[in-house]
Amino acid sequence: MTGTLHVDLGLTRGDFTLTAALDLAPGTVTAVLGPNGSGKSTLLLALAGLLPLTAGSITLGGCADHPVTTWAEAERGLHLRPQDRRVGLVLAEPMLLPHLSLRDNTAYGPRSRGASRAQARQRADEELDRVDLRDLADRRPDAVSTGQAQRAALARALATDPDLLLLDEPLSALDPETRSRTRADLHHRLCDFAGATVLVTHDPLDALTLADRLVFLEAGRVVQVDTPRAAIARPRSPYVARVVGLNLLPGTARVGHRVEVEVSGGVVVTAEDPAEVADGAALWLAIDPSAVALYEEPAPGSTRNTWPVVVADVTVAGQRARVGLEGPLPLQAEVTTGAVADLGLRAGRRLWAGVKATEVTAYPA
């Protein structure tokens, strides 16, 4: 890859406007997450060259060794076609040509760029070998599994040596077992890819296990850019908190002999040092669902925070269960399946929720 891809764009489609500023460095994987309608697909189409910009620019390079190549610049009306951008694209469906073998599907890109048939097939064999499909190179798409077909689609995208690899929900069409295996294969291959990768996904597990950096979009705007570890530690919006599995509450500090935070629906006691927090400061409060304890009576002893709640829903996964709670504060609790049985957890069940002050993480909003 010839340097970092600098993205500072604006794009309007009907009533929707997307604005995003990102730097995509060689050898990194950036996952883009957001609710439906947040602009994920629009961003991908703009990067691919399938939508012209309304404002801003996309440039590649910008250092002594790699002069700037402008892919798009709205002010000058400059817009490079997709085939001129060296972009690889993998969709949820492999979209392999059914009448061609995996080898010839993979060789299609190099051939379209002027390589001889022998050169293109040699390049295809190299990529198929990297995704562990060399032994299946002569098979057609209908003679391989869905996971193998998706790995072949990845090999096809990489056979053109793109500067930018775009992955649009590449694992969403796979069954859970195949998805897990293909995710591992994808991670292994991306570690060896020299260009930048942008992964659009709804699945937090895909993002957290494959990406170096997470970009969260909401309503056409970037609301947080962080490493997975930083996003988990300090989400900046309720949507981000849901993705990383935390309860997140906005509030205002009330500082006395201890730090309490006024939130919609009540007050939360924290273990923060009063000397470290300004009275009236805007804060985010993050609470791990596993720290939310459920009781039939008000929480006892050292539990500073306790609220009456009503169970909204219960979702079981293995030996754990997520419990949606309605009350003064909307919360998610995580309990054992034994607790589900012991407490008779079901929609409509009235209980008390408790959170220790030491289990509340507070940070500036």
59-82 confidence digits (pLDDT tens): 998 665 667 899 999 999 999 999
d(CA 32, CA 164): 14
Tens of pLDDT along 108-161?
989 988 899 999 999 999 999 999 999 999 999 999 998 899 999 999 999 999
Which tokens is 240 given? Answer: 């981000």
What is the pTM assigned to this prediction?
0.86
User: Residues 296-312: what's their mean pLDDT?
Assistant: 88
pLDDT tens for each residue of 190-243: 999 999 999 999 888 899 999 999 999 999 999 999 999 999 999 999 999 999
What is the per-residue pLDDT across 342-356, written as a single tens digit (0 to 9) for each?
Answer: 999 999 999 999 999
Domain annotation for the chain: domains and CATH numbers: 5-238 (3.40.50.300), 246-364 (2.40.50.100)
Give the pLDDT confidence score for residue 65 in this predicted structure. 65
pLDDT at 26 over 60: yes
Please enumerate in sequence order all residues whose Cβ is within 8 A of that of 37, keeping only pairs 6 or more positions apart, or say none: 16, 219
Per-residue pLDDT, averaged over 329-336, amounts to 94
pLDDT at 265: 87
pLDDT of residue 173: 84
List pLDDT tens digits, range 245-268: 999 999 999 999 999 999 998 999
Planar angle of CA 208, 214, 215, nearest 5 degrees: 145
Mean pLDDT of the chain: 92
* Lowest mean pLDDT segment, chosen from 217-226, 240-249, 294-303, 317-326: 294-303
Q: Which two tokens stand for residue 154?
A: 């990845």
Contacts of 237 by beta carbon, 8 Å cutoff, 6+ apart: 216, 218, 223, 224, 248
CA 273 to each of CA 257, 260, 270, 295, 314: distance values in angstroms, whole numbers, following the listed order: 9, 11, 9, 29, 36
Cα dihedral 282, 288, 291, 293, rounded to 10, equals 90
Stated as kind and residue range, the H or E segment containing 210 is helix 204-210
Give me the mean pLDDT over the 73-93 stretch.
Answer: 92
CA-only gyration radius of the chain, Å: 25
Q: What is the mean pLDDT of residues 25-37?
A: 95
